[in-house]
Amino acid sequence: LIAKAFHQNFIIPEFTTFCENIEDLYWKVKSKTDGKVASYIPQLARYSPDLWGVSVCTIDGQRYSIGDVDVPVCLQSVSKPLTYALVLNEQTPEVVHQYVGHEPSGRQFNEIKLSADNKPHNPLINSGAIVLCSLLKQDFNLADRFDYTSQMFKRLAGNEHLSFNNSVFLSERETADRNFALGYYLREYKCFPKGTNLMETLDFYFQLCSVEVTAQSGSVIAASLANGGICPITGERVLDAGAVRNTLSLMHSCGMYDYSGQFAFDVGLPAKSGVSGSVMLVVPNVMGVYMWAPPLDQYGNSCKGIEFCEELVDKFNFHNY
Ligand code: DON
C-alpha cells in the first residue's frame, strides 16, 4: 500500500475526490424514504428504517465509509453467492451445475418451481441455495461445515467483523414453512446428492442467512470478489479466480431477485441483495461496495441500495458496457 501510495498508482488515483462524490451520493440517497422494512421475523422488523450505511474498499485496499457502517447486519441472501463460490472453490463447475442451472428464474426468490430439467434455476434463489448448502463440505458434520464456511467468510472479510445471530437463525427456522416445503419438493425431484440430510441442510441454509457482517467488513468481502479472490486487506488468496468469475457472472444475471434484468441493464455490474436491506456490489478489478438500508421495494431489494447503485454508475460510468 505504501509503495503504491508513493508511486500514486492506485486503481482510483483521485481517491479523495472520489470519496467526496460518494459522500454527496450518500446524502442525496438518504432523503429517499420509500420502501418497507421486512417484517416476517421480529429481528428484521426491529431494524430502524433510517439506518443507512455505505462502505467502499478498493482492490488495493483504499477504504471509505459513511453512515451506519459498524452495525452488524445479517447477510440473508447475500450469503448465497458466497456459498456458491465456496462450493465452486472445491468442485468443478461441471459437477456443481449438474445440480443447479445458470438461468434467471423470472420468478420470486422462494417459488416452488424448478427448471425444465428439474433443477433449481440458479444458485442465488432459495431452491438453488438450499441445494448448494447440501454440496458444501458434504463429508463434514454440520458443526464443522459451519466452522469452515464462517472461517472462509471471515477470510474474505479480511478478518474484520463477522458474527452469528442466533435469534435470527431461530426465527428463520420457526417461520420457514416455504423453505421446508421447497426442501421436500427438491428431495422429491432428487435434486440433492445421495446421503443428504434434509433437516441439517435446511438448518445450514438458515445459519448462513444469519451470519452477520457490517457494511465495512461486507465491503471487504465484495472487494475480495472484485480482486479475483484475493483479499485486498490481507493479501491472502481465499478463492480460486475461476470460482469468483463464475460467481460474478451469475450475480450479474440473477443477483437482484426478479429485478435482475433491469438492474443489469441500468447498472451493468454484479450485485447481490438480501432481505435485511443489504446490497453487495462488485466493480470487477476496481472495488467492492456494501450498502445497507432496511426498507425494501416490491422485489425485496433495498430502495436506497438500488438508488445508490444507479447514481454511482451515472456519476462514474462503471457500467460494464
Ligand atoms: O429464505 C428466506 O426466506 C430468507 N431468509 C432469505 C433471505 C433473502 O434475503 C431472500 N433471498 N433471496
Tell me: the pLDDT tens digits for 81-131? Answer: 999 999 999 999 999 999 999 999 988 888 999 999 999 999 999 999 999
* Per-residue pLDDT at 302: 98
Cα of 145 to ligand 1 centre, how many Å? 20
Checking if the pLDDT of 50 tops 90, the result is: yes
Checking if the pLDDT of 1 tops 70, the result is: no
* Per-residue pLDDT at 313: 98
To the nearest 5 percent, what fractions of the chain are helix, strand and coil?
Answer: 50, 10, 40
Length of the chain measured in residues? 321
In-domain check, residue 6 = no
Q: Looking at ligand 1, which residue's alpha carbon is closest to its atom 4?
A: 76
* Per-residue pLDDT at 3: 67
Give, for ligand 1, the residue of 44, 126, 206 to mutate: max count of ligand atoms closer than 8 Å to Cβ: 126
* Per-residue pLDDT at 2: 66
* Per-residue pLDDT at 11: 96
Q: Each residue of 153-212: pLDDT tens digit? A: 999 999 999 999 999 999 999 999 999 999 999 999 999 999 999 999 999 999 999 999
The C-alpha cell at 227 is 480482486
The C-alpha cell at 250 is 451469475
In-domain check, residue 202 = yes
| Number of compact structural domains in the chain | 1
In-domain check, residue 153 = yes
In-domain check, residue 3 = no
Cα of 72 to ligand 1 centre, how many Å? 17
Ligand 1 atom closest to the CA of 176, numbered from 1: 3
Residues touching ligand 1 (Cβ under 6 Å) are 76-77, 109-110, 126, 172, 179, 209, 274-275
Tell me the residue range of the domain where 100 lies.
12-316
Cα of 167 to ligand 1 centre, how many Å? 15
Q: Looking at ligand 1, which residue's alpha carbon is closest to its atom 10?
A: 77
- What is the residue type of 177? D
CA distance 87 to 153: 13
Ligand 1 atom closest to the CA of 275, numbered from 1: 9
Strand runs (DSSP E) across the chain, as ranges? 53-58, 63-67, 73-74, 163-164, 211-213, 271-273, 278-283, 287-292
The C-alpha cell at 24 is 454527496
CA distance 122 to 102: 5
The C-alpha cell at 200 is 441439517
CA distance 54 to 290: 6
In-domain check, residue 75 = yes
Q: Looking at ligand 1, which residue's alpha carbon is closest to its atom 11?
A: 77
* Per-residue pLDDT at 216: 98
Ligand 1 atom closest to the CA of 273, numbered from 1: 9
Mean of pLDDT values over 64-87: 98
In-domain check, residue 4 = no
Of the candidates 295, 299, 317, 319, the residue with the CA atom closest to the CA atom of residue 34: 295
In-domain check, residue 267 = yes
In-domain check, residue 84 = yes
Checking if the pLDDT of 6 tops 70, the result is: no
At 4, the pLDDT band (50, 70, 90 cuts) reads low
Q: What is the average pLDDT score of the chain? A: 97
Q: What CATH number has the domain bearing residue 219? A: 3.40.710.10
* Per-residue pLDDT at 159: 98
Cα of 170 to ligand 1 centre, how many Å? 14
